[in-house]
Amino acid sequence: MAHKELDLRERRRIEDLLNAKLPVSRIAAEIGRHRSTVYREIKRNAFAARTEEVAYLDGYYGMVAQRKAFDRRARRRKLTRLVDLREAVIDRLKAGWSPEQIAGRMRLDGLPVTVSHETIYAHVYGPEGRAEELARHLPSRRKKRRPRYARRSRNQVFPPERSIHQRPEYVKTRETFGEWEGDLMIFERAQGSMNVATLLERKTRFAVLFRNNDRSSTHFMNSLMNVLTPLPQVARKSITFDRGFEFRDWRKLEAGIGTTAWFCDPQAPWQKGSVENLNGRARRVLPRDTPLASLSTPKMKEISERLNTTPRKCLGWRTPTEAFREEMAKLR
């Protein structure tokens, strides 16, 4: 059954029954709604005075509740009503901006019409946003949003001591070999949960691409360890990721193959710019509509080799393959 908002008649009935001191469970039965709907309605739309002088007026009023609900829906419809605003928001989403960044920049620029990040999220996960698949442009790339007040803190998943700001300086300056960056390339929705994992060694720019058939973190980490295990330990010392949910099982790396994980700041994938640059170059041969099921292991190796045999200015016009082999020879 389709979701149906409470109307004014129901809200006035709730007001009357509350004044009659009936419990919420009885009120819900009287109006034919679930008790959680009534609890939520009272919590969200009750009147709360802003000064102590009129605090005695606090309570639930049907007309006030109707107006608050109407105003809230009107704010969410802003991106439907205002075409220019909607197009500006979508352009920034496609450019990689998060809803918080979009809303914050609008306020900083002092635009006559602005929008909050919650309104942007509501539009992205609403009917119009789902039809345009806007969620794939979000940093988290989730198809469904977690309940607002039930989201899990990521502090324990990505603890402060694993922050990119705690990463040794020699990793940042590319002084040592064996420090990697990792990411996932996401494709059209028709491809299902398949994607392509990209790895890049920071000093030599050597790239490894492989097809990842499942976006679950456990599956990805197991595949990653299988790819890196043939390398000696000193050639796989660390990997820097963003904070995508695919990387939350990072502890498996340290326990399984002794590789340390570092993480960019939230909504800051540019901090692992080398692998982001790799993704951009890989898109030339792996556009978003690529049929991933046809990408065999030999084909992925062929694409990786193509990238690794291209001369790079940052390597003095050597190829990543040549630079990588030189570093591996030093380990013997």
Spatial neighbors of 1 by CB under 8 A, at least 6 apart, are: none
Q: Assign 143 a pLDDT band (cuts: 50, 70, 90).
A: low
Our CA dihedral for 164, 170, 171, 177, rounded to 10 degrees, sits at -160
| Average pLDDT score over residue span 67-90 | 80
Spatial neighbors of 130 by CB under 8 A, at least 6 apart, are: none
Mean pLDDT of the residues in the chain: 87
Q: Assign 238 a pLDDT band (cuts: 50, 70, 90).
A: very high
| Average pLDDT score over residue span 83-104 | 88
Q: Assign 253 a pLDDT band (cuts: 50, 70, 90).
A: very high
Query: Which is higher by pLDDT, 81 or 151?
Result: 81
CA distance 263 to 139: 14
Which one-letter DSSP state was computed for residue 247?
G
Q: Please, are residues 312 and 320 in contact by the beta-carbon 8 Å criterion?
A: yes
User: pLDDT for 200-219, tens place per residue?
Assistant: 999 999 999 999 888 788 88
Judged against a pLDDT cut of 50, whether residue 163 lies above it is answered with: yes
pLDDT attached to residue 145: 65
Q: Assign 27 a pLDDT band (cuts: 50, 70, 90).
A: very high
Query: Which is higher by pLDDT, 80 or 8?
Result: 8
Amino acid at 224: L
Q: Assign 1 a pLDDT band (cuts: 50, 70, 90).
A: very low
Q: Assign 232 a pLDDT band (cuts: 50, 70, 90).
A: very high
> 129-133, 184-188, 223-227, 311-315: which range is least confident on average?
129-133
pLDDT attached to residue 3: 54
Judged against a pLDDT cut of 70, whether residue 153 lies above it is answered with: no
Query: Which is higher by pLDDT, 111 or 300?
Result: 300
pLDDT attached to residue 2: 47
The whole-model pTM stands at: 0.55
Judged against a pLDDT cut of 50, whether residue 220 lies above it is answered with: yes
pLDDT attached to residue 318: 94
SS3 state of residue 224: helix
- Which residue reads 């692998």 in tokens? 275
Q: Six-digit token pair at 15?
A: 């007001």
| Average pLDDT score over residue span 316-321 | 95
CA distance 57 to 52: 10
pLDDT attached to residue 330: 93
| Average pLDDT score over residue span 254-283 | 92
| Average pLDDT score over residue span 269-294 | 92
pLDDT more than 70, % of the chain: 91
CA distance 271 to 220: 21
CA distance 191 to 215: 12
Query: Which is higher by pLDDT, 196 or 58?
Result: 196
